[in-house]
Amino acid sequence: MKSKSASLQIRRLFEGMRFLVENKTFVDSQKEGEAFSMFL
């Protein structure tokens, strides 16, 4: 049970990081236009 909650926290952390990266990439693409296609 303990390891399950730990993995859940790690998954939440990664999802949060991915969310931030996607938002930053979207903002950069709005500014530069090429950053988003480069990320993909």
Can you tell me whether residue 23 is helix, strand or coil? helix
Q: What is the pLDDT of residue 27?
A: 76
Cα gap 15→21, rounded to integer Å: 10
Q: Is the pTM of this model over 0.75?
A: no
State residue 33's pLDDT score: 64
Q: Are 11 and 17 in contact (CB under 8 A)?
A: no
Percent of the chain at pLDDT > 70 equals: 70
- The pLDDT tens digits of the residues spanning 11-28 come to 999 999 999 888 887 777
Q: Which residues contact 39 (CB under 8 A, 6 or more apart)?
A: 25, 29
The structure tokens 């939440």 sit at: 12
Amino acid of residue 39:
F
Greater pLDDT, 5 or 2 = 5
